[in-house]
Structure 1
Amino acid sequence: MSGSTRTDWSLRLARPGDADAMPAIERAAARKFLADPDLADLDPNDTWTADKLRGLIRKGHCLVSEADGRLVGFLASEPFRRELHVWEMDVHPDYQSRGIGAGLVRAAQIDARNSGFRALTLTTFRDLAWNAPFYARLGFEEVTALDAHPRLVGELANEADNGLPAERRCAMICFLD
């Protein structure tokens, strides 16, 4: 049918068994960062472990995307009081540019709102098109008053300690009210 939109992927809550496939998706997606000369030293194999992902999944707010009978994307998040923090969101490169990432984020926003959270938070690269600008299109804004968000300040400091360039990183928030 001309002009119709065909959805060839689906979203659902993650189950503990999904954690085994998630690190490979993260690894594949991380290779995109290696094209940036300043990030060439990043290790794409430094991913969340399946055990840590299972721990997040048990908290009830992680999502996966399926296509062609397999997992192709995921969003791992964790509650912190009245906020839901997105630790990781990845879509396998073979399935990017199909709206899967945006679908995962929108579903997380709906889940968080329905669960009574007041906001979603995350940390990301401020200057990469598929990072902060992507999240901004989905309603996130950069946190400029970091003194009001000590948890996010701590996360940015941990990332810098782990070798991410602090000047390129930012915290973002999406208020759900």
Structure 2
Amino acid sequence: MSDLQIRSAALSDIDAVLAFWREAAEGTSISDDRDGVARLIDRDPDALILAERDGRLVGSVIAGFDGWRCHLYRLAVHPEQRRRGIGSALLTAAEERFAALGGRRGDAMVLERNETGQHAWRAAGYVREDHWRRWVKHLTT
């Protein structure tokens, strides 16, 4: 894992991120376009966290904090790079970000049909709350 770099995205990363999500992420969102990602980076420059290996984008997560709750979106790892700790490294970075901001609970919305994603969240210690249909983890007690 020493060759894995975790960093915040920059505006210059937008095209690579969009291409990566088309290849590695489950489904798309209405905000999966240049303007949407640019707004995210402009509003919160540290929210979009990227993982790179050998200069190649291999993972992403959006760690948004609204001052009240911590929200996780777009956890994605390149299919050829899965099960190598990249998702865990991204979630650790996101949780460290949340802790530094004073966040106490992280939640993630995961597509019902995304079995790989369901497994990844469970393995990371998140618990499914069926009444909300989301995965949550209390970051502090």
TM-score in terms of structure 2 length = 0.82
Structure 1 residue aligned with 2:68, among 82, 98, 110?
A: 82
Give the aligned partner of residue 54 of structure 1.
Answer: 38
Structure 1 residues 126 and 69, CA, compared in 2 at 3 Å: closer, same or farther? same
2:71 maps to a residue whose letter is H
Aligned to 1:171: 134
**CA–CA separation in structure 2 for the residues paired with 1:111 and 1:52:** 21
Give the secondary-structure state (helix, strand or coil) at the position aligned to 1:88: strand
Compute the RMSD of aligned alpha carbons.
Answer: 2.4
Match for residue 64 of structure 1?
50
Gaps in structure 1 of 5+ consecutive residues: 1-5, 34-41, 147-169
Aligned partner of 1:119: which letter? R
Contact 1:140 1:174 in 2 (8 A): yes
| Identity in percent | 25
Q: Read off the aligned partner of 2:39 and give its amino acid letter.
A: G
Q: In the TM superposition, what is the alpha-carbon distance from 1:100 to its structure 2 partner?
A: 0.8
Matched residue count: 138
Shift of 1:111: 0.9
Equivalent residue for 1:107, pick from 74, 79, 93: 93
Q: What residue in structure 2 maps to residue 137 of structure 1?
A: 123
How far apart are the structure 1 equivalents of 2:38 and 2:70? Answer: 17
Q: CA–CA distance in 2 between the matches of 1:66 and 1:9? A: 6
- The offset of 1:116, in angstroms, is 0.7
How many angstroms apart in 2 are the aligned matches of 1:74 and 1:13?
Answer: 10
Question: Aligned equivalents of 2:94 and 2:29: distance in 1?
Answer: 26
CA distance in 2, matches of 1:128, 1:71: 21
* Structure number having the greater helix percentage: 1
